[in-house]
């Protein structure tokens, strides 16, 4: 009687979290394609317009309707982020659940700088190994943002010595390098907070550059070791060949020394096997 082969029990598929899994949110892949195309430009927009949304519209002054332009730009950035979250929710499988499960994206519509502050993706791309150029560009943009913010807060403040954008840029460069000449300095609370922010960028930049230089030295040493590694088998082969030659010479010498004893008259004869 033949034995019956048991039918394997199928393993149940794991239950996925619809709030986080992109395949459940967007089975067709349209949302993933949209995010791949728009995330970096939108993050760059937030980085470039950070100073516009940080400074209140009233601090831009009334010359040439600067405050009106600043307010229009602020509203425009919020509209762009609002359209972005609307498109993402439309492309998702469950529209309302997607919007509710992404509160930061909703908050950026009202407060656009949150996109830069909470964008872990942008932070990862900046600190990725080999992205020193990208990091330096981001740091430079942030320093210029700090210079613009300090200028807008300090130019009309009582006791301030920063009255032009050029003076503010010079102060930002001196601050980010942690030199601190003291010829220009902020006197307002917002200006001092900006100074702390710029000093943090300077310290972080120094740490990143040091880490990149150390990493490059480590990679160079590893490459040198890798290039020298293939030579080791050749050295071992030559050593083994030389050892074989020495053993062969020793064997020849032993045979040469044993030959006279075998040919001598007094050497014992081998017994006859048939006797």
Whether 244 and 211 map to the same domain: the answer is yes
Supply the pTM of this predicted model.
Answer: 0.59
pLDDT in tens, 134-165: 788 888 888 888 898 888 888 888 888 888 88
Helix, strand, or coil here: 208?
helix
- Domain of residue 198: give its range: 127-251
Whether 142 and 30 map to the same domain: the answer is no
Domain holding 235: CATH number?
1.10.287.70
The reply to whether 59 falls in a domain is yes
Q: How far apart are the first and last CA of the chain?
A: 68
Whether 27 and 102 map to the same domain: the answer is yes
Number of independent structural domains in the chain: 2
pLDDT in tens, 191-210: 899 999 899 888 888 888 88
Whether 67 and 176 map to the same domain: the answer is no
Whether 232 and 138 map to the same domain: the answer is yes
CA neighbours closer than 13 Å in the CB half-sphere of residue 232: 6
The reply to whether 266 falls in a domain is no
The reply to whether 7 falls in a domain is no
Whether 165 and 50 map to the same domain: the answer is no
């Amino acid at each position: 009687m033949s034995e019956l082969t048991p039918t394997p029990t199928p393993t149940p598929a794991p239950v996925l979290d619809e709030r986080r899994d992109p395949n459940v949110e967007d089975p067709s892949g349209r949302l993933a394609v949209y995010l791949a195309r728009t995330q970096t430009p939108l993050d760059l927009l937030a980085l470039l317009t950070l100073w516009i949304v940080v400074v209140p519209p009233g601090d831009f002054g009334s010359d040439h309707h600067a405050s009106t332009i600043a307010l229009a730009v602020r509203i425009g950035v919020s509209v762009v982020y609002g359209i972005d979250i609307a498109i993402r929710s439309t492309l998702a499988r469950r529209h309302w659940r997607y919007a509710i499960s992404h509160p930061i994206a909703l908050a950026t519509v009202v407060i656009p700088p949150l996109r830069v502050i909470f964008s872990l993706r942008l932070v990862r791309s900046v600190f990725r190994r080999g992205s020193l150029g990208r990091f330096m560009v981001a740091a430079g943009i942030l320093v210029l943002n700090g210079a613009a913010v300090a200028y807008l807060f300090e130019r009309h403040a009582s006791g301030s010595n920063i009255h032009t954008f050029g003076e503010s840029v010079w102060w930002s460069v001196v601050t980010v390098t942690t030199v601190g000449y003291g010829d220009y300095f902020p006197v307002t609370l917002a200006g001092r907070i900006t100074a702390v922010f710029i000093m943090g960028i300077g310290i972080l930049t120094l740490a990143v550059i040091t880490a990149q230089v150390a990493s490059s030295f480590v990679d160079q040493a590893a490459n040198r070791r890798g290039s020298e590694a293939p030579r080791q088998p050749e050295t071992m082969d030559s050593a083994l060949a030389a050892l074989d030659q020495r053993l062969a010479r020793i064997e020849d010498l032993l045979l040469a020394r044993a030959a006279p004893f075998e040919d001598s008259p007094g050497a014992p004869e081998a017994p006859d096997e048939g006797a």
